[in-house]
Every structure is written in C-alpha cells, then in structure tokens.
C-alpha cells in the first residue's frame, strides 16, 4: 500500500521525502530514478533468527522496540531536512504514534495520519476473544500482548489529536476512531486503500470444481477463524458442493492455527502461508472469497479479490466492501454463520448463471474504487486543501 501511494502521489507531481526506520534496502524498480521521490533510511538492524527474535513473542516485543528507537533517531534527520527545504505537510502512514515527527514541527507543519488500524480496536477484540486465544497459545503471550496494547491505546488516544487530518480507510473505521479516540468528525476524511490492479489485469480465471471458497489472510485474532470452521461444517451438513480453502498464517502477536484442526477434511483444507506472487493464482482458481473478520479497517484481500474478478462474502465490519455493487458482494453481520453460508450459495448461483458478467462487474468495481490513480487523486486533493487552509 505504501508503494502504491508513493508511486501515485509522485506521478501527480508531489515532491516526497520518505523516512523509513530500517537500514537501506532494495526499492521496487518502479519507485527508483524519480527526481521527486527520495528515501531516507534509519538505523534499525533488527533481523530474524537472532537471540532477540527466536520466538514469536520475543520477536513481537523486540521488533516494536527496535522500530520505536529507530523512529526516534529519525527525528533529527527530519528536522535537518525541514530546515534545508521546508515541508508543506507531514504524512504519517500506518501508525498513529507520532514517534518520528519532531515536536518543533508541531503547529508549523500540518500532520496527516493514514492509520492501518488502531490499538483500541485491537485490544477490544483481544479481550473479547481471550478464551479462543488461550486455546491456541500460552497465556503469557496473551497478557504480554494485552499490556503492550493497553499502553499503545493510551499513547494513540493522545497522539491522534495532534493530526490536522486523519485519513480513514473506510466509514466503519472512522466510526471506531471517533468512538474510541474522540476524534472530531470534521478532522477526518474517508479514502480507501489502493490496489495494484496490474497484478490481476492479465489473470485468466480458472475456477476449480468443486468451487473453492477462498479464505485469504492472517489466521489470527478478530479474523473470524472460528466462524470459517463453522461455515465449513455447515456447507458439509447441507450438502453444498463447495470447498473451503484457508490460505495464510499467524502473526507475531496472535496464532489461531490450532482452530483449523477442526476443519472437516471432506470439504476443507488449510494450505498455510504462501508467497505474495502466488496470491493471484489462488484467486484465479477461487469462486468466492470469504472475509469473516469481526473488525477490519479495510481488508485488502477483499479488494484484491474483486480486482481478480472474484465476488466476496464479507461482514459489515470489512471496510473494503462498503461501496461495492451488491451484485458482487454479500454483506453479513459478524458471527452470522448462516448468513455467510447463504451468501456463498448466492454468489455461486450468480457465477453459474453468468460467470463472465460477475467477473467483469467485480473488476469494474475494483477499478472504480481502488485504482491507484483514483485513490491518490483523492489524497492529493485532501492534502492540497489542507495546506491551502493552513
């Protein structure tokens, strides 16, 4: 997503300096040799398979600490560059904690935040699903993650009020931020994530038989993993000719893969994590994407499925489906397994009746809502308007 923003905004002529806490790495070729796009690297040399990253919990804590310290060190470089050539706006991507933003810039330069999630929401579902978590992983991991999220929630609740503008990935995410952090509605704007449509432009659809209902993403907290298992059992009990395929792995803070041991082998499988280049191939074989999340500020996998011509069954908490034509989206309430099954059956029937038409509509909706040029034009307009007001 960051790459899409950098490419799209630089294409529009904005001059961008991108500050990253890690040591210098290879940049995607499409972002190199752009006179208006510069990268400034930090000092974090955090690596896997070291004493500080041998277990998931230790890696989670040490990685967070390493990024925080490196971001603090970046403050000096940000200030130095601002003195040399003053910034018009500071655009903070992903996080809400303003670790790398120098205090001396506060009030002088508008701060824009584009968060991917918020800790109050993550903490809420961590606590709500504690019994599920305890079935899957040690309690010490749960309590360590909970303590960190309590602290980050407190920090974020204060930090977000320093922003002149908060770009929210969806309306549902905006409502969470307003409710949890008392963000003023007038200081927010809703702009979705961008999808790299080129990844799916030449994709040849080859739906499998029996039809595959693809579950793509992290096997972790708030993703509705237990509901996916229930959907698989319901499809089997009702004799519905479809197969659940779960693709993805846990993250450092949450691992629900044990729940997938309960998938019925007759009509379901867990394929584990795959490399990103293989995702288009998974979508080419799928007939429906199921996104059962209970909290999802956006849900990039749902947007990518549409770009690949695959209809989606998703909960009302998945921001990516808010404005999509209901011909290719079935929206259900979180935890409503019966509604998920009905949505899957409906989407499969639509595909059997007019598969090419469904695929064309899905792709069209993805272009209309998530194309890089569409999203970046909205962000550009918002930034220009903010700077002019300032």
Q: pLDDT tens digits for 282-312? A: 999 999 999 999 999 999 999 999 999 999 9
Identify the band that residue 250 occupies on the pLDDT scale cut at 50, 70 and 90.
very high
Q: Which of 57-61, 210-214, 273-277, 334-338 has the lowest mean pLDDT?
A: 57-61
pLDDT of residue 43: 85
Is the domain defined by 2-194+373-389 classed in CATH 3.40.50.2000? yes
pLDDT of residue 15: 96
**Does residue 107 carry a pLDDT above 80?**
no
Whether residue 210 is preceded by a cis peptide bond, meaning omega within 30 degrees of 0, is yes
pLDDT of residue 99: 77
Question: What fold characterizes domain 198-370?
Answer: Rossmann fold (3.40.50)
Per the prediction, the chain carries an average pLDDT of 94
pLDDT in tens, 343-372: 999 999 999 999 999 999 999 999 999 999
Q: Which of 47-56, 279-288, 315-324 has the lowest mean pLDDT?
A: 47-56
pLDDT of residue 314: 98
| Mean pLDDT calculated for residue range 106-121 | 92
In the chain, what are the domain boundaries? 2-194+373-389, 198-370
| Mean pLDDT calculated for residue range 245-264 | 95
pLDDT of residue 345: 97
pTM: 0.93
Q: Which of 36-50, 165-179, 186-200, 227-241 has the lowest mean pLDDT?
A: 36-50
**Does residue 163 carry a pLDDT above 80?**
yes
**Does residue 103 carry a pLDDT above 80?**
no
pLDDT of residue 36: 96
pLDDT of residue 224: 97
């Amino acid at each position: 997503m960051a790459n899409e923003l950098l490419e799209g905004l630089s294409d529009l002529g904005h001059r961008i300096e991108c500050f990253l806490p890690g040591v210098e790495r290879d940049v995607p070729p499409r972002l190199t040799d752009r006179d208006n796009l510069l990268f400034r690297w930090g000092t974090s040399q955090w690596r896997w398979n070291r004493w500080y990253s041998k277990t998931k919990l230790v890696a989670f804590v040490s990685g967070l600490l390493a990024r925080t310290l490196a971001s603090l060190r970046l403050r000096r470089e940000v200030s130095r560059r601002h003195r040399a050539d003053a910034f018009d706006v500071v655009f903070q991507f992903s996080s809400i904690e303003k670790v790398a933003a120098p205090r001396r810039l506060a009030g002088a330069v508008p701060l824009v935040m584009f968060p991917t999630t918020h800790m109050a929401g993550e903490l809420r579902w961590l606590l709500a699903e504690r019994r599920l978590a305890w079935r899957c992983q040690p309690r010490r991991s749960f309590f360590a993650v909970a303590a960190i999220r309590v602290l980050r929630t407190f920090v974020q609740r204060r930090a977000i009020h320093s922003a002149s503008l908060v770009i929210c990935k969806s309306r549902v995410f905006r409502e969470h931020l307003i409710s949890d952090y008392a963000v003023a509605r007038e200081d927010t704007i809703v702009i979705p994530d961008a999808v790299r449509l080129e990844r799916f432009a030449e994709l040849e659809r080859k739906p499998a038989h029996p039809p595959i209902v693809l579950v793509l993403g992290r096997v972790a907290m708030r993703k509705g993993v237990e509901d996916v298992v229930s959907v698989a059992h319901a499809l089997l009990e009702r004799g519905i000719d479809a197969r659940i395929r779960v693709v993805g792995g846990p993250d450092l803070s949450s691992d629900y893969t044990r729940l997938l041991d309960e998938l019925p082998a007759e009509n379901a499988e867990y394929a584990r994590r795959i490399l990103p280049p293989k995702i288009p191939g998974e979508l080419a074989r799928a007939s429906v994407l199921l996104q059962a999340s209970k909290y999802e500020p956006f849900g990039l996998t749902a947007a990518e499925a549409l770009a690949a011509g695959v209809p989606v069954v998703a909960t009302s908490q998945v921001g990516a489906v808010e404005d999509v034509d209901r011909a290719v989206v079935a929206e259900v309430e979180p935890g409503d397994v019966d509604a998920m099954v009905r949505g899957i059956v409906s989407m499969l029937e639509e595909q059997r009746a007019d598969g090419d038409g469904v695929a064309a509509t899905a792709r069209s909706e993805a272009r209309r809502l998530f194309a890089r040029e569409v999203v970046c034009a909205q962000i550009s307009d918002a930034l220009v308007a903010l700077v002019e007001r300032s």
